[in-house]
């Protein structure tokens, strides 16, 4: 187990394509950190540079107390779990899990077959090594619940079982760090949910520094002690899942994290006496007093209002305050059991989603009124990556 530190790490491909752009990140000892972002954001490239599978263009990578820039992957003392499992089809589960350790035997026949045969001392030490390998394999199999599968070959396993074998192969190494490259993306939805819980339980049990890459923000939020949100080779925000969700640093993070994604309304701030109003074009919404101090300097300027779907709820006339309500036209209602997603829109903003209690009945194709919880709203500077100017975490 060890701390992993990236300092000013850059990766540039031919044609001046900058996949990772001068990122710095410290992954604490025993921490489970998740790199998440859209395709092409640089998360897998970052993981591969930590593993040594990609050379870095600039910067420093440190694992423990050692700089590993020029160290071969096999000598970095890390274990990687790949998206496609990468199991040997002709080997049993036991041999797949033990193979990496067998290659590293100091006294086994792999290194010097003749000396192994002639030297009784080497034979005794080789037996001790094999016993240790056997102990590690069975211990890992017990943790993962695959003890009954050790005699099978990969073709006789389900996708979830193969994934457990791939994880077990990493566990037996007892490395300084685990690296996971989208390991659940080949599984069906139900199995992914189960494996997420298994991985979280596993990390608590083995307590090894873990770097996990995924494009699935829900997976990132449920697994990580901290989440690193990336885009275009840059880190846009690092924080706990709660912080990233409740206090997004900018509009990109706010829109990427959350299902369904945050609703955005383009408009401007205006003042009416002591009240700040957000002018959406067809509606004026009263800004909560909790945001007044930070937003006062932006009166009269273009600004973006961000509202989570769960902060929009249906209200009738006389129920929702007039200065906190949107008159919308409902297009689609998606029942999801305990909740429902209402797709609707205003004249200026035709794509709005509200997530409500499943017992609330809203008719499709009919007008409705949505109450906006403005205390939970966010305000951003204009642009795709506009800064969150309403968050207490904003500089």
Asked if 286 and 371 sit in the same domain, the reply is yes
Q: What is the pTM of this model?
A: 0.86
pLDDT in tens, 331-347: 999 999 999 999 999 99
Last residue of a domain, one of 223, 246, 269: 246
Rounded CA-CA distance 294/106 in Å is: 64
pLDDT at 323: 76
pLDDT at 317: 40
Asked if 151 and 129 sit in the same domain, the reply is yes
Number of domains in the chain: 2
Rounded CA-CA distance 48/61 in Å is: 12
Q: Which residues of 254-271 are buried (b: 16+ CB within 10 A; e: fewer)?
A: bbbbbeeebbbbebbbee
Q: How many CB atoms lie within 10 A of CB 44?
A: 21
pLDDT in tens, 9-44: 999 999 999 999 999 999 999 999 999 999 999 999
Asked if 170 and 58 sit in the same domain, the reply is yes
Last residue of a domain, one of 246, 271, 301: 246
Q: What residues contact 56, with CB distance under 8 A and at least 6 apart?
A: 9, 10, 11, 49, 69
Tell me what percent of the chain is helix, strand and coil, each rounded to the nearest 5. 35, 30, 35
Asked if 319 and 373 sit in the same domain, the reply is yes
The string of DSSP codes covering 23-34 is: EEEEE-TT-EEE
- Any idea what the CATH number is for the domain that residue 318 is in? 2.40.50.140
pLDDT at 113: 57
Asked if 208 and 295 sit in the same domain, the reply is no
Q: Which two tokens stand for residue 57?
A: 């263009």
Q: Does residue 90 surpass a pLDDT of 50?
A: yes
Q: What average pLDDT does the segment 222-228 reach?
A: 95
- Any idea what the CATH number is for the domain that residue 204 is in? 3.40.50.300
Q: How many CB atoms lie within 10 A of CB 145?
A: 11
pLDDT in tens, 235-277: 999 999 999 999 999 999 999 999 899 999 999 999 988 889 9
Asked if 281 and 189 sit in the same domain, the reply is no
pLDDT at 314: 87
Domain range enclosing 21? 4-246
pLDDT in tens, 38-49: 999 999 999 999
Rounded CA-CA distance 80/177 in Å is: 9
Asked whether 179 and 172 are in contact (CB, 8 A), the reply is no
């Amino acid at each position: 187990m060890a701390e992993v530190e990236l300092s000013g790490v850059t990766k540039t491909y031919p044609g001046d394509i900058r996949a990772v752009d001068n990122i710095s990140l410290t992954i604490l000892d025993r921490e489970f950190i998740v790199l998440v972002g859209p395709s092409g954001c640089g998360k897998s490239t970052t993981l591969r540079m930590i593993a040594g599978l990609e050379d870095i263009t600039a910067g420093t990578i440190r694992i423990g107390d050692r700089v590993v820039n020029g160290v071969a992957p096999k000598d970095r003392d890390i274990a990687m779990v790949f998206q496609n499992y990468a199991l040997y089809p002709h080997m049993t589960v036991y041999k797949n899990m033990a193979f990496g350790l067998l290659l590293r035997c100091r006294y086994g026949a792999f290194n010097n077959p003749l000396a192994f045969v002639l030297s009784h001392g080497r034979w005794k030490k080789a037996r001790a090594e094999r016993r240790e390998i056997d102990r590690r394999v069975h211990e890992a199999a017990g943790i993962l619940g695959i003890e009954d599968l050790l005699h099978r070959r990969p073709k006789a396993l389900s996708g979830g079982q193969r994934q457990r074998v791939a994880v077990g192969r990493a566990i037996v190494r007892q490395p300084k760090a685990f690296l996971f490259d989208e390991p659940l993306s080949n599984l069906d939805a139900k199995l992914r949910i189960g494996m997420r819980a298994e991985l979280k339980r596993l990390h608590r049990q083995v307590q090894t520094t873990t770097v996990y890459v995924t494009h699935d923000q829900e997976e990132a939020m449920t697994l990580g002690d901290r989440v690193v949100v990336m885009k275009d080779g840059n880190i846009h925000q690092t924080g706990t899942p709660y912080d990233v969700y409740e206090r997004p640093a900018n509009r990109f993070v706010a829109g990427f994290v959350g299902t369904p994604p945050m609703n955005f309304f383009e408009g401007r701030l205006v003042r009416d006496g002591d009240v700040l109003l957000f002018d959406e074009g067809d509606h004026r919404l009263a800004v909560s007093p909790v945001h007044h101090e930070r937003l006062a300097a932006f009166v009269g300027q273009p600004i973006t209002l961000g509202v989570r779907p769960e902060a929009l709820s249906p209200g009738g006339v006389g129920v929702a305050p007039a200065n906190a309500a949107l008159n919308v036209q409902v297009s689609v209602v998606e029942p999801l059991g305990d909740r429902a997603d209402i797709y609707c829109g205003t004249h200026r903003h035709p794509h709005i989603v509200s997530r409500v209690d499943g017992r609330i009945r809203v008719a499709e194709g009919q007008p409705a009124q949505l109450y906006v919880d403005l205390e939970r709203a966010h305000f951003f500077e204009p642009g795709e990556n506009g800064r969150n100017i309403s968050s207490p975490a904003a500089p």
